[in-house]
Structure 1
């Protein structure tokens, strides 16, 4: 496990789902920019009530920072290029919307 802090922008909207045991969680995607201007997609899952609520309140393009357990992955695009991706289990979140609510 890698303990990470990532920042980026929401890509689409967060979706709330239920597990087999009825536990609620939220999934979303974050676009994070690298130093060379490339973009990494971060697949986010959140189980914490406060994190879930904050992510559900964000819209496409909103800035957000997440802290949590990170797993690096790779995927292949339609042209056959291997690209990096990140999976993160978010334990904490900061956004401009959240700061204004405090």
Structure 2
């Protein structure tokens, strides 16, 4: 098992299925850009409630970032050429919705006028004279 991060666009509509135990899960296919200009398909399955809901809220062509366990695979196209692919069990799903929600939350947490942020508070406590921290001696690597 390989832990990995994958970013790409959904290829087709994610679908929901029901396991033998009656628990819903989602499957999807993501097209990710490979380093050589080609595309790599990632077959995604999600079992946990949050990733399932996030995947099912997306549609064909939507951008998505996934974290989970990867299994490398190989498939054969119509011309008989072998191509790489990945199977992923997604544990986390990040979409544009999640990014926008996080930005709004961060914006709401910004200090009110006249108040200082945490960074400003640290800067105020930091020594103003820093010359003693650097001896200008060359570093031996």
Q: How many residues align?
A: 102
Runs ≥4 residues deviating over 3 A: none
Distance 1:16 1:40 in 2: 23
Structure showing the higher helix proportion among its residues: 2
Offset from partner CA, 1:33-91 (integer Å, 9 cap, x none): 01211000000000111111111111111110000000000001110000001000000
Give the conservation status (yes or no) of the 8 Å contact 1:42–1:85.
yes
Gap regions ≥5 residues in structure 2: 103-141
Distance 2:51 2:80 in 1: 35
Q: Does 1 or 2 have the higher relative contact order (CA < 8 Å, sep 6+)? A: 1
TM-score, structure 2 normalization? 0.70
Instruction: Identify the residue that residue 91 of structure 1 maps to in structure 2.
Output: 91
Instruction: Identify the residue that residue 134 of structure 2 maps to in structure 1.
Output: none
Instruction: Identify the residue that residue 38 of structure 2 maps to in structure 1.
Output: 38
Distance 1:11 1:83 in 2: 17
User: Larger Cα Rg: Structure 1 or Structure 2?
Assistant: 2
